[in-house]
Structure 1
Amino acid sequence: MPDKSSLSERDICTKYISPAIENAGWDKFKQYREEVNFTDGRIIVRGKLSTRGKRKRADYILYYKPNIPIGIIEVKENNHSVGAGMQQALEYADILQLPFVFSTNGNRFLFHDKTNTESLEQEIELDDFPSPEVLWEKYLNYKGISSPDAKNVVEQDYYFDGSGKAPRYYQQNAVNLTLEAIAKGQDRILLVMATGTGKTYTAFQIVHRLWKSRTKKRILFLADRNALIDQTKRGDFKHFKDKMTIVQKRQVDKSYEVYLAIYQGLTGSEEEKNIFKQFSPDFFDLIVIDECHRGSAKEDSAWREVLTYFKSATQIGLTATPKETEEVSNSEYFGDPVYTYSLKQGIEDGFLAPYQVIRVTIDVDAEGWRPEKDKTDKAGNLVEDRIYNRKDYDRNLVIDERTQIVAQKVTEFLKNSGRFQKTIVFCRDVDHAERMRSALANLNSDLVGQNHKYVMRITGDNDEGKRELDNFIDPEQTYPVIATTSELMTTGVDAQTCKLIVLDTEIGSMTKFKQIVGRGTRVNEEFGKLYFTIMDFRNATDKFADKDFDGDPVRIKEIKGDEPITGDNDPAEDDEPNDVEKPVVKDPPENYGNDDPFTKKKTKLQKIYINGVDVTILNSREMYFDKDGKPVTMSMKDYTKSLLSEKYESLDHFLNLWKSADRKEALIEELNEQGIPVEELLKAVNRECDLFDIICHVAFDQKPLTRKERANNVKKRNYFTKYGEKARAVIEALIEKYADEGIENIESMEVLKLNPLSDFGSPLEIVKSFGGKNQYLEAIKELENEIYNLA
C-alpha cells in the first residue's frame, strides 16, 4: 500500500473514498457524482472584455435518486486533519440545501448530521459510511414526510428530454422545496427567483412531477400577456404536447389536462365575459401564477377573483419581485417564500450577467427649467410660468432638445461599443417612445436606410412593433436592434442578448425597477452576452443603494379587522402597464378610480410641446459597485485602499504573497473575485502600470512604476547574460512582451506560439534552449523576481 501522505487529493478519492461509498451501497452511476461544478463562476468585466472566476465545486454529491441530492463530501489530502474540509462543505451544503455533510482525509470521515441535533458531528470509519436507505429515512423524518402519498410526490423523477439539460442547483432547490411543501399539505406557495434564472423551466419541472405522479391531474398556468403564454407553450411546456391547450374562446374545452391562460382572457367587467366560471370551482388541482407580483397581489382585483374562485386548488406564485406595500402583498396571500434566489446570488454564481451603470446628468434635469417671458409652445399657446423639473419631462412637458440629446448620447455609446448591440430604451409613455424612435432613426439614418427595423417602437398599441418583439428577443435575428418602449417590455421579455438598457423614465416602484434591470441579466455566451450596461438619465439607479433592492421580501401590509385598504399612488409610479393589451370594457361610473387594472380610469394629462431650449449634458460618469452589488460612494482609490488594507496587513505581507504566487494571473483573478475593481483601478491610476504597482501605490503609498520603466530596469541589470544566445533573445522578447501587455501574458506557455516568440522556433525548440521545461519555468520565475525587484 502506498503511503497516504504522498497521495494527491484525487488519488485519495479514487483509492479510498469511492470504494467506501460503493461498499455502503451507493450506486456509482445513479447515486453519487464526483467533482461536481454547481456554479458557472462569477463573470468579471475588464473594460470591454470579460472572464469568469472560479466555479464552486463539490468533491462528491450524494443522491438518493438523480433528482434528490441529500449529502456532500469534501476531500482533503492526507496531511490535513479529518475535519479540514468541513467548513467549506458546510458552506456548500447550505447553498445546495443538503442535510448530510462529510469531511475526510482518507483515514476516516467527520459526519455533520443536520437531522441529529443531539449528536451533530461524529467521526466514523471508512467501513461505516451510511447507506442510501439509512440517510433517506433520516431525510424524510427531518422533512416531516411520512405518508406513502407524500413520498410518491417527492420521489417522482424530473423530466429529461435527452438533450442533457438538467436543473441547476437553485432550480433543483426550488422544485424540491415546493414539492416537499405540497407533500406536507401546504396549498399556497411563493417562489422568488431573479429574472433570467428560469422560472418557467422550474415551474414546468414542478408541474410535470406533480402531473406524472397523478398528485395533480388538471393544471392551470396563468400569466398576464399573450406573448408569455405563447412563449411558455412553445418553450418549456411543449413536452405536454396534446395534453395542453390555451384558453382563448368563450366556450372552453374541458378535455385537456394542462391549460394556459391570461387573466385578461378569463375576466371582464360583464358577467358573461368571466370565462373562468365555465369551469367548476374544483376543476383545477394546481394553479401556477406567473409574475404574481402584478394584479393577483391586489386583494380587490379582478385577477385575485380568479384565484379565489379556484381556492381549493394548490396555488404557486412565481415572481422575481414580490410586491410588499401597505396596500398590496404577495406574502399575505401566498405566505413567505419557500425559496428565494436573488439577483445578487445569480451574479455571484455566474448564472446572471453583471451590469455597469453610466449616469448622465442633463442641465434642465439637475437645475430645472423655467420658461422665459412670453414663451409659447409649438401650438402657439403661452407656457405656464413655473419651474419644471425631471418629473415633468415627457409626462406633461416635452422639450424636443432634451429628447434629442438623450438619443445622441445613446447613439454615441453604441458607435463606441458596437452599433448592433440589442438595446431597450424605456420611455415615459407611448408618445415618448415614438418621439425617441424618430430621434434615434435620424441619428442612425445610415443603418435605418439599410433596414428600417434597425430601430422600432415596441408598445402595446402598435401592431407592427409587437410583431417584431419575437425577432428582437431572438439571438439569431439581427433586427430590430434598438427597441423604444414604455411598459410592454418591462416584464416577461426573454431578451437574452440585450446589452444596453436606457432609462429615460421615472421609476417610482422598486418592483418595476427590478423588472427592468432583469431585461439585461440573461447570459448568452454563444452570442457574446456576458454583461450589460445601464444608461440612466433619470437617477433611477439610486435604487441600487436601497436596502430592499436585493433583500428578502418583508411583509408590510397589516390587516386590521374589516378596515378598508386605501392607497394614493402617483399614476406616474403605478406598476400596472398602460400600453399592454387589454380587453375593451365599458366602465360604469361608480368604478372610476378603483384599483382594478381592467376597470381603472386614468385621467390623461395634457402635454405641452416646446422647442428652442438650450439643453446640455452636465456630466456622464460610470458608477462602481462593491461585491454585494451596492454603489460605491467614496472615491475609487479610497474604496480600494480600504479593501486592500483588509486583505494585506502590510507592504511586506503583500510582497511575500506576490513573490510566492506560482501564477500572478491567479492572484489577479482572486482580487477580481473578491470585489477589488482591478480594471477601474488601472483606468483611474495609470493603464501603463500593472496591478503590482497599482496596489503598492494605492494601499501603501509607494511610487508607481510603469511596465516600461520596470522592463528597462531589468535590462540595465543585464542579469540574463548567463543564458545562451537563443535563450537570452527569448528572455529579451518576453521582457518587451511584459512592457506592452502585462505579466499575465508571459506566464502562459501559449505566449511561445505568438509573435515575436514564434520567430525563435516551436515551443518545444524554445524550451530546449533553456535545457527543458522545468528550466524554462525557473527562468520565467527568475524573470518575474527581477521585474518586481523593488531595489
Structure 2
Amino acid sequence: MGKQGLSERDICTKYITPAIQQAGWDIQTQVREEYSVSDGRIMVRGRLHTRARPRRADYVLCFQRNQPIAVIEAKDAGHSLSHGMQQAQAYAEKLDVPFAISSNGSGFLFADPHGLVFDQAETELTLDELPGPEVLWCGYRRWKGLDDETRPVVEQPFYDDGSGRAPRYYQMVAINRTVEAIARGQNRLLLVMATGTGKTYTAFQLIWRLWKSRRKQRILFLADRNILVDQTKSGDFRPFGAAMTKITKRKVEKSFEIYLSLYQAVTGSEEEQNIYRQFSPDFFDLVVIDECHRGSAAEDSAWRSILEYFNGATHIGLTATPKETTEVSNIHYFGEPIYTYSLKQGIDDGYLAPYKVIRVDLDRDLQGWRPNEGQTDIHGELIEDRIYNQRDFDRNLILTQRTKRVARTVTDYLAQTDPMQKTIVFCENIDHAKWMRKELVNLNPQQVARNHKYIMRITGDEQVGKAELDHFIDPEEPYPVIAVTSKLMTTGVDARTCKLIVLDQNIRSMTEFKQIIGRGTRIDEAHNKFWFTILDFRKATELFADPKFDGDPEKVYVPTDNDPLLPPDNEDDDTGNSDDSSEGGSNPSDDDTIVDPPESPYGGGDEPPGGVGESPSKYIVDDVSVSVLGQRVQYLGPDGKLITEELTDYTQKTVKAHYATLNDFLRRWEESERKQAVLDELAEQGVFWEELMAEVEKHLGDAPDPFDAIVHIVYDQPALTRRQRATKARQSDYFTRFEGQARAVLDALLDKYADSGVTIIEDTKVLNLAPLDQLGTPVELAQAFGGKSAYQQAVKGLEARIYAG
C-alpha cells in the first residue's frame, strides 16, 4: 500500500516520527505527541452537558520536557504539505513558540516568520532536513532575548515526581515566560490567571525552577487568608519539604529557604509587631504575592511596608482579577501582565466549568417599597418615610418575607435538582446571613434533622461555622451542604464541587464579582461537577455584560504626590487592604495560627448606614408580602455572552424539541406506564415544574396538573386545575364498573390526585396512606380489584379518565 492509502496516524508512525528521531530529537524527553491544548468546551442545556472535541497538537518539540520550541501538525498524504500549517501556527501561538511545521509524510513545511533559522518565512524541507534540538533551541533563545548567562535558569527542569502530573499548556507558558523574564533581570512581574486555573501550582513550579537553579535562594510566599497558606503548605508546595516553613507570631527561624506567611503574621501597628523587620532587607530575593488584587493593591495599605522593606527582591504578583481604579493599581506597580489566562479562555478550552444563570426578579426589588404614614417596624420604631429599594434591603431595611421568598426559591431549586449539591449563598452582610440561615433551616427540616450541619453560616465572626469550612470544601465530606456567607468565602476557597452559587448581595465591585463567580468554575469529574448554576436575586449577573468582566483592565490609576510613577524596579505601591477584603486582616496574635477577623456586619467594608460614628438604623418589617415576578434562564453562548430565555420560552423550546406537536405529547403521555417518567425526562432538560405550575395557577386560582402546565404554556391549550380534572373523572361512567371496596379505593385515589397530583397515585405505597389505610390492608385492597395487576390496570383507567378530553 502506498502513502495515499495510509491514515494520518500511519503517516505519523511510518514517516514523521522516524524523521524527528533522525534529526536528533529524543522521543521520550523532547517529543510530546498528541499534546493537549484543550479538553473540549463543555456545553450545557437543561441539566445535561456535552463536551466539544478536545484539541491536540500532533507533535510538540521541546528542548526538554515542558519547554516547547516548535509544533508539528500532521496530515495524511491526501492533503498538501501545507494543509496543516494554519492549525500548527494557531497551536504555536497558544504555546508561545516561534516555529510551526506542517507535514503530510513527504517532507516538512517550516514556518520561521522571525528568520531565526531560515532566511524566508516558510521553507520546504525533505524528511531528512528537519533541524535538531540545539538549532531550534538557539533560535528560540534569540527570539526570547536570552543570552548564554541565562541558560542555567531557563534550562532548569520543572519538578517531576514521576506521577505523570504535568503543567497544562497555559501554566507551562506562564511559568516559562516568568522564569525567562527573571533570567533577563526583570524584577516586577504580574501573572493574571482565572480562578480555578491553578495559580498556586503555577507559583510552585516557577519557584521550584528558580530555587533549584539557585537564581533565587530565599523566597517569601505571601497570602492574606490563613486557609490559603495552610492549603499551599500541605498541597502544591509539599515537595519543598524540610526547606519550607510557615512564619508565625511565636518565633522567627532563619535557617529555612522557602517561607510561607500571612501578611498579617509579619506586620502590625506597633514596630515590635513587625516580624519581617527581624529579617534583613536583603534576606529574601524573591517575594510572591498571592491574590495581589486584594491586600497588596492599595497605595496607603498597612501591608505595603513589607514590599517596601524587601524592595531589592524580585516581586511576583498573582491574581485572577487585576484591580484598576483611580486609587488602586496592580499594573502601575507590577507592570503589564507577563501572561494572562482569562475565564473565557478557560471555559473555551474546557478547563473551567461554564455556568447557567437563573435570574429571579422579586416584586419589591423592582417596584420598591414605601411605608404607610406612621408605620413602625416589629420593634415599634417609626420607619423613615421614603422609598426603599433593592440596595436598602438587608442593609437599612429587612423585609422578612423577602428573605423567606429567597430561601424558598433556593430550597425549591435544590429539591428539583439535587438537595445535596454544595451551595454557597452570598448575603449582604452578617445580619442578613443570620436571617437567611434561619429561614433555610426552617424550610429544610428533614435535611437538618438528618444532619444539623446541612446548613452552616460561615462568616468572619462565627468560629463554629468557620471551623466547618474545610469540611465544606472537601469533596469527600457530604456536610455542610449549604454555606451561608457574606465576604469570607469570596476568595481563596477551593470549593471544587460547588454546583450552586446564590447571589443575594448587592455587588458593585467587578473584582469581587469575578472572585465570587470563581467559586464555581472548577471542574471535578470524579464528583460529576462539569458546570454550575448562578441563582441571582440582585441583578448582579448584569456585570457579565460589562466589557471589563473578561477584558483587559483599563488603566485609570492616578498616583499621589508621594507616589510618583517610578520605573517598575523601584516603585512600591501595592500593599494593604482593599474594599473587598473586609474579612482578610487580623490583629496580631501570639498564636501560631493567624485567624481571619470578624467582618463588618454592614458588609462590603462600608460604614454603618447612619454614617461614621452614628448608630445604624435597620428596620425590620414582617408584614410586607414578596413574590416572584419572573424568572429567566441564561446560558453561556460560544462567544462568551449570555443567551437569555424566559422560563416559558425555554420550556416551549425544550418540550417541542421532544414533542413537536400536541398530538406527539399526548401520545407519549397516554402511552407512558408512569406519568412521572415523562415529567422526569423533561426535568432532566431543565423544565422547572413548580415555577411553571405557579405561573398557570395565577390564572386558574388553584393548583394545576403538570400536564396542564405543558399543554397551556407549550401548546396554548386551555388549562384545568387538578380538582376540575378530578370532578370530570368522577362524573364519567368509569366508576359504574366498580362497587364496594374497589369503588371506595378509586374515590380515595381521586381525592389524593386532587390534593397532590398524579405521581402519588402511581405508587402502590399510597395504599398505606390515610384514608386508604382505613379501607383495608394493601393486599386486601388490591384483591378487591382481582389482584395487584388488575388494581394497576384500574389505576391506569382512572388516569385515562383524568386526562380525557
TM over 0.5: yes
Contact 2:297–2:330 (Cα < 8 Å) also in 1 = yes
Q: Distance in 2 between matches of 1:552 and 1:445?
A: 47
Cα–Cα, structure 1 residues 305 and 408, in superposed 2: closer, same or farther, change >3 Å?
A: same
1:517 is matched with which residue? 517
Given the alignment of the two structures, is residue 605 of structure 1 paired with residue 592 of structure 2, yes or no? no
Deviation track 1:372-399 (CA, whole Å, cap 9, x = no partner) reads 1221111111111100000001111111
2:69 maps to 70
Distance 1:428 1:709 in 2: 47
Q: Please name the residue that 1:133 is paired with.
A: 134
2:170: which partner in 1?
Answer: 170
Amino acid at match of 2:632: R
Which AA in structure 1 matches 2:282? D
Aligned-partner residue type, residue 493 of structure 1:
V
What does residue 123 of structure 1 align with?
124
1:615 paired residue among 614, 626, 630: 626
Distance in 2 (alpha carbons) for counterparts of 1:114 and 1:68: 20
1:772-787 aligned within 5 A? none
The Cα RMSD (Å) is: 2.8
Q: How many angstroms does 1:29 deviate by?
A: 1.0
Superposed, 1:551-590 pairs within 5 Å as: 551-559=551-559, 575-580=579-584, 582-583=586-587
Q: 1:450 to 1:240 in 2, by over 3 A?
A: same
* Distance of 1:182 and 1:125 partners within structure 2: 38
Mapping for residues 378-527 of structure 1, pairs under 5 Å: 378-527=378-527
Q: Distance in 2 between matches of 1:95 and 1:684?
A: 41
3-state secondary structure, aligned to 2:303:
helix
CA separation of 1:172/1:289 partners in 2, compared to 1, >3 Å: closer, same or farther?
A: same
Q: Which amino acid aligns with 1:62?
A: L
Letter aligned with residue 256 of structure 1: F
SS of residue matched to 1:159:
coil
Give the Å deviation of 1:163: 1.9
CA-CA distance at 1:300 after TM superposition: 1.7
- Map Cα deviations across residues 674-716 of structure 1 (whole Å, 9 max, x no partner): xxxxx98841744324xxxxxxxxxxxxxx89989999xxxxx
* Structure 1 residues 123 and 159, CA gap change in structure 2 (3 angstroms): same
Matches within 5 A, 1:171-186: 171-186=171-186
CA 218–680 in structure 1, closer or farther in 2 if over 3 Å, else same:
farther
Greater RCO (CA < 8 Å, at least 6 residues apart): 2
**CA offset at residue 196 of structure 1?**
0.4
1:103·1:109 contact (CA, 8 Å) conserved in 2? yes
Are 1:687 and 2:658 an aligned pair? yes
Task: Judge conservation of contact 1:5–1:77 (CA < 8 Å) in 2.
Answer: yes
Mapped partners of 1:265, 1:383: distance in 2: 45
TM alignment of 1:185-204, pairs within 5 A: 185-204=185-204
Change beyond 3 A, Cα 1:221–1:402: same
Structure 1 segment 644-663 matched on structure 2, within 5 A = none
Q: Does structure 1 retain, via aligned residues, the 8 Å contact 2:354–2:636?
A: no
Following superposition, which runs of at least 4 residues in structure 1 exceed 6 angstroms of deviation? 596-602, 634-638, 704-711
Give the whole-Å Cα distance in 1 for the aligned partners of 2:606 and 2:431.
Answer: 22
Highest Rg: 1 or 2?
A: 2
Q: Deviations over 1:269-312 (max 9, x none)?
A: 12111111111111101111000001211112112221111011
User: Which residue is equivalent to 1:50?
Assistant: 49
Distance change >3 Å, CA 133–CA 597, structure 1 → 2: farther
1:459–1:580 contact (8 Å) kept in structure 2: no
Distance in 2, Cα, partners of 1:208 & 1:153 = 11
User: Relative to structure 1, is the Cα distance of residues 210 and 706 closer, same or farther in structure 2, using a 3 angstrom cutoff?
Assistant: farther
User: Which residues in structure 2 correspond to 1:738-749 (within 5 Å)?
Assistant: none
Report the 3-state secondary structure (helix = DSSP H, G, I; strand = E; otherwise coil) of the residue aligned with 2:633: strand
**Separation of aligned partners in 2, 1:25 and 1:359:** 59
Whether the aligned pair in 2 keeps the contact of 1:110 and 1:121 (CA below 8 Å) is yes
Q: Which residue of 2 aligns with 1:19?
A: 18
Distance in 1 between residues matched to 2:525 and 2:579, nearest whole Å? 32
Distance 1:330 1:19 in 2: 49
Q: Give a deviation string over 1:402-440, Cα, whole Å, max 9, x none.
A: 111100000000000010000000001111111111110
CA distance in 1, matches of 2:164, 2:10: 29
Contact 1:194 1:518 in 2 (8 A): yes
1:578 is displaced (CA, Å) by: 2.9
Within a 5 Å distance, the mapping from 1:26-425 to structure 2 comes to 26-116=25-115, 119-148=120-149, 150-425=150-425
Classify 1:681/1:553 alpha carbon distance in 2 versus 1 (closer, same or farther; 3 Å): farther
Residue identity in the other structure for 1:116: G
1:67 Cα deviation from its structure 2 partner:
2.0
Q: Conserved in 2, the CA contact under 8 Å of 1:42 and 1:350? A: yes
User: Closer, same or farther in 2 for the Cα pair 1:155/1:584, shift >3 Å?
Assistant: closer
More displaced 10-residue stretch of structure 1: 598-607 or 528-537:
598-607
CA displacement, residues 2-43 of structure 1 (integer Å, 9 cap, x when unaligned): 422222111111111111111110111111122223321111
Greater shift, 624-633 or 128-137, is seen at 624-633
SS in 2 for 1:197: coil
Does the CA contact (< 8 Å) of 2:632 and 2:644 recur in 1? no
Cα offset, 1:162, TM superposition: 2.2
Equivalenced residues, count: 641
Q: Which amino acid aligns with 1:478?
A: P
In 1: Cα distance, 2:535 partner to 2:132 partner:
55
Q: Distance in 2 between matches of 1:133 and 1:485?
A: 55
Q: Separation in 2 of the partners of 1:398 and 1:564?
A: 46
Question: In structure 1, what is the equivalent of residue 751 of structure 2?
Answer: none
Give the structure-1-normalised TM-score: 0.77
Name the SS of the counterpart of 2:296 in structure 1: helix
Alignment partner of 1:632 is 2:636? no
Q: Closer, same or farther in 2 for the Cα pair 1:318/1:453, shift >3 Å?
A: same
- Superposed displacement of residue 598, structure 1: 14
Compare 629-638 and 213-222 and name the one that shifted more: 629-638
DSSP-derived class of the 2:356 partner:
strand
What is the Cα deviation at residue 633 of structure 1?
Answer: 5.8
1:547-590 deviations in Å (ceiling 9; x for gaps)? 1111123322133765899xxxxxxx9733334552179xxxxx
In the superposition, the TM-score normalised over structure 2's length comes to 0.76
The separation in 2 between residues aligned to 1:637 and 1:70, in whole angstroms, is 53
**Structure 1: segments with no counterpart, 5+ residues:** 566-572, 586-595, 639-678, 690-703, 712-739, 743-791
Identity %: 57
Q: Does the 8 Å CA contact 1:268/1:598 hold for their aligned counterparts?
A: no
Could you tell me how far apart the structure 2 residues matched to 1:401 and 1:388 are?
15
1:729 equivalent in structure 2: none
The answer (yes or no) to whether the contact 2:67–2:176 under 8 Å persists in 1 is: yes
